[in-house]
Structure 1
Amino acid sequence: MKTGPVKLAVALLLAGATTGCSGSVPNACPAIAWFNSLTVSLDGAVGQVSLVEFCAESVCSVRADGPVRDPATSVSPGAVPAPATTLAVTAAPAPPGRPYSPFTVARVDDRTWQVSLMMQSPTTATIRAYSADGNVLARREVELRWTRVGGSEACGGPETAGPVRLVL
């Protein structure tokens, strides 16, 4: 009887087709990067403030008009390589006067500043407000509590904290 191999083949096909139907398939995480955000609210003589700085984990923010990603690598110039070769990658220097930081700060209005944090949610931070001549107008150490506003528990996603009040 030659039905043995046919039954075995059908059984294997059915087993393969139903694999994963038990609910044990791992979740796919579609987001590969995101920014967390923190709002800083100023009280007092806000007209004197020219810059708000956010520092955490020994790193301080750059202005929002600075680099928003790490300019660590760039593709070397030249012709497109043959399919069997690889592009050479070399280090690219940060723009002069603008060091890299995963934190950026942007003015929303006279009293509100928005901090963007590249996939980081530090628990403590220092926030400073500076005048145009570089004097510190206010400084505050804060503990931050983050709330996820997107993504999932399994995959992570964007979070928000604040607002943090800074009195001048």
Structure 2
Amino acid sequence: MPNACPALAWFNSLTVSLDGNVGKVSLVEFCAADACSVRADGPVRIPETSVSPGAVPGPATSLPVTPDPTASGAAASGRPYSPFTASRVDDRTWKVSLMMRSPETVTIKAYSADGSVLAQREVQLDWTRVGGSEACGGPETAGPVRLVI
């Protein structure tokens, strides 16, 4: 008899704990083999668009489309897409959310406001399922990962 799985999608989570001079930390980034996190609690940049009267062509007009090589992987907000997000919980704690992924080896970085790397660490993660079932899968958690600034 087939097994029915009620959960179609979930987020895994990881906690990053910062030690040391955390006052300089502006961003914590989580990177796995194919992607790095985007900041979930940061400002969202809305693309600026202006349309002048008469500038919008009629429905029968075809416009040439030239791909913008810098726009690859960008979401409508102007931020790049990532299956990982990082958000500040408090001065010493960041939470990383991972869309149905649980990579074993990751790199965690802390950045200052000017973009310089304050600390970096590669870690092996042990994931523990905290919901769902063995047959269907479900949300997992790992950490906390300690990063010394």
For Structure 1 versus Structure 2, the TM-score category normalised by the shorter chain is: 0.7 to 0.9
1:58 equivalenced with 2:39 (yes/no): no
TM-score with structure 2 length normalisation? 0.76
Equivalent residue, structure 1, for 2:23 = 47
Superposed CA RMSD in Å reads 1.5
Equivalent residue, structure 2, for 1:146 = 127
Equivalent residue, structure 1, for 2:115 = 134
1:34 equivalenced with 2:10 (yes/no): yes
Secondary structure class of the residue paired with 2:23? helix
Give the number of the structure with larger relative contact order, counting CA–CA contacts within 8 Å between residues 6 or more apart.
2
Max Rg structure: 1
Greater helix proportion: 1
Equivalent residue, structure 2, for 1:16 = none
Residue deviations 1:78-129 (CA, integer Å, cap 9, x gap)? xxxxxxxxxxxxxxx6235411000000000000000000000000000000
Residue deviations 1:44-88 (CA, integer Å, cap 9, x gap)? 00110000000002210001047xxxxxxxxxxxxxxxxxxxxxx
Give the distance between the partners of 1:50 and 1:149, measured in 2 at CA: 30
- In the alignment, structure 2 segments of 5+ residues that lack a partner are 43-73
Secondary structure class of the residue paired with 2:96? strand
| Count of aligned residue pairs for this structure pair | 119
1:116 equivalenced with 2:87 (yes/no): no
Equivalent residue, structure 2, for 1:156 = 137
Give the distance between the partners of 1:103 and 1:37, measured in 2 at CA: 9
Is this contact kept in 1: 2:7–2:138, CA < 8 A?
Answer: yes
Equivalent residue, structure 1, for 2:87 = 106
Give the distance between the partners of 2:142 and 2:13, measured in 1 at CA: 7
Letter aligned with residue 137 of structure 2: G
Percent identity between the aligned chains?
Answer: 81
Give the distance between the partners of 2:97 and 2:115, measured in 1 at CA: 22
Give the distance between the partners of 1:64 and 1:120, measured in 2 at CA: 17
Give 1:26 deviation, angstroms: 1.9
Secondary structure class of the residue paired with 2:4? coil
TM-score with structure 1 length normalisation? 0.68
